[in-house]
Structures are given as structure tokens and as C-alpha cells.
């Protein structure tokens, strides 16, 4: 099997196992057995299990970036563009739940991130920073046009992202499903208030 195909097989197998059983429960040996490869073949491509997850997370960030670029950056109205950032993120979490789950796992497990090679760490940080920096640029543009109060752009963007992550985690875990609440309305209410509270 060509090395490129082998690497892709390892990634797909690992993604399936990690999503089914959880990262901690999966071993490189299980990935090898499921992919019908030797553990040596896996270690010739990846340093460790964390490295495999890191590559999967990098792919997930790239997919998210593509979704945001296709939906958000074309919007001329800045306030609408800010809302579209969240809507695109929410849509991504729904249409690609496996990728969203991997992003959240890596974000909440710094000990796994620490096991990655510096190259993969830099790649993940750069992709996350690209999203954050685009949002900061948008907030700065809104302030320059006078349609946003004078707030610290970085703090505001981190507040938006943190709120979005909390809302989407609640949704993905069905924490409030017993109440029969339309979670889209909850999302829109909270994110709308967070955006409107600083808009002029």
C-alpha cells in the first residue's frame, strides 16, 4: 500500500475509533489491528497516538476555515458578518459533528496537546489564531465605522468564542433536551444579546 494511502487509512481508522470509544480508550495497537497494519507501520508515520489526533484536529480546523470563508467573508454588512461567524460555527458543529468533537477534545485536554510535535502544535495554533484574528479584524472594522462601542476587541472576541463553545457543547450533549426548548432560539437570543449589547 502506498505510504500516502496508509497514512489516510490510519487517520480514518483512528477517527472512527476515537469517536466511538473515546481518545483515552483507543490504543495504537487497536488502530493498527482495525486498519490491518502493523504498529510499526503506524509509528513510521506518526510519533504517537496524540500526533494522530493532532493531524485530525488540524484537518478539522482547515474544514472550519473553509466553511467560514465560504459563508462569512462575502457579507458586506459588518454586524451581519459577525453573526454569520457564529452561525457558520454552529452549522459546522451540526454538519461535521465528528470534527467539532475532535476540536473540543483537543481544546479541553492540554496534556494531549503537549504530546504533539512542535510542528503540529504550531499548525493547530496558527489555524485557531487565523480564525480569532479575522474576528478581531472585523470587530476593529466595526469600531472604526462607529457601529460598535469602544470595547477591547480581543477580549470581546474571546467572549464570543467562549460563549459559542458553551452553547454548542450544551447542544451536542443534549443537556436541556428534556425541556423541549428550541436551541436555535437559545443560541440566537444569547449571541444576539452579546452582539447587540456592544453595538451602537
| pLDDT for 2 | 67
Q: What is the pLDDT of residue 183?
A: 84
Q: Which CATH superfamily is domain 1-46 in?
A: Homeodomain-like (1.10.10.60)
Question: Which pLDDT score, from 0 to 100, does residue 171 have?
Answer: 78
Query: Would you kindly state where each structural domain of the chain is located, as residue ranges?
Result: 1-46, 49-196
Distance CA 51, CA 188 (A): 36
Residue 150's pLDDT is: 83
CB neighbour burial string for 14-38, b if at least 16 within 10 angstroms, e if fewer: bbebbbeeebeebebebbbebbebe
Q: Are 142 and 124 in contact (CB under 8 A)?
A: no
How many Å apart are CA 61 and CA 33, to the nearest integer?
28
Q: Looking at residue 3, what is its pLDDT?
A: 66
Q: What are phi and psi of 118, to 5 degrees?
A: -60, -35
Cα separation, 89 vs 72, whole angstroms: 10
Q: Report whether CATH 3.30.1390.10 matches the domain 49-196.
A: no
Which percentage of the chain shows pLDDT scores above 70?
98
Span 61-113, pLDDT tens digits: 999 999 998 888 889 999 899 999 989 999 999 899 999 999 989 988 999 99
Q: At 76, is the secondary structure helix, strand, or coil?
A: coil
pLDDT-flagged residues of the chain (< 50): none
Q: Given this model, what pLDDT does residue 81 score?
A: 92
Contact 147, 79 (CB under 8 A): yes
Amino acid at each position: 500500500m502506498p505510504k500516502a494511502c496508509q497514512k489516510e487509512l490510519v487517520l480514518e481508522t483512528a477517527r472512527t475509533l476515537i469517536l466511538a470509544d473515546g481518545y483515552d480508550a483507543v490504543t495504537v495497537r487497536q488502530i493498527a489491528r482495525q486498519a490491518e497494519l502493523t504498529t510499526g507501520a503506524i509509528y513510521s508515520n506518526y510519533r504517537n497516538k496524540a500526533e494522530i489526533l493532532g493531524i485530525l484536529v488540524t484537518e478539522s480546523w482547515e474544514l472550519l476555515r473553509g466553511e467560514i470563508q465560504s459563508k462569512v467573508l462575502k457579507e458586506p454588512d459588518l454586524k451581519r458578518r459577525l453573526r454569520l461567524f457564529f452561525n457558520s460555527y454552529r452549522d459546522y458543529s451540526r454538519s461535521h459533528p465528528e470534527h467539532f468533537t475532535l476540536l473540543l477534545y483537543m481544546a479541553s485536554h492540554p496534556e494531549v496537546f503537549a504530546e504533539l510535535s512542535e510542528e503540529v502544535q504550531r499548525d493547530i495554533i496558527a489555524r485557531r489564531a487565523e480564525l480569532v484574528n479575522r474576528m478581531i479584524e472585523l470587530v476593529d472594522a466595526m469600531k472604526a465605522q462607529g457601529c460598535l462601542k469602544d470595547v477591547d476587541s480581543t477580549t470581546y472576541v474571546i467572549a464570543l468564542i467562549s460563549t459559542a463553545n458553551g452553547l454548542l457543547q450544551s447542544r451536542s450533549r443534549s443537556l436541556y433536551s428534556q425541556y423541549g426548548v428550541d436551541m436555535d432560539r437559545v443560541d440566537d437570543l444569547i449571541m444576539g444579546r452579546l452582539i447587540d449589547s456592544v453595538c451602537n
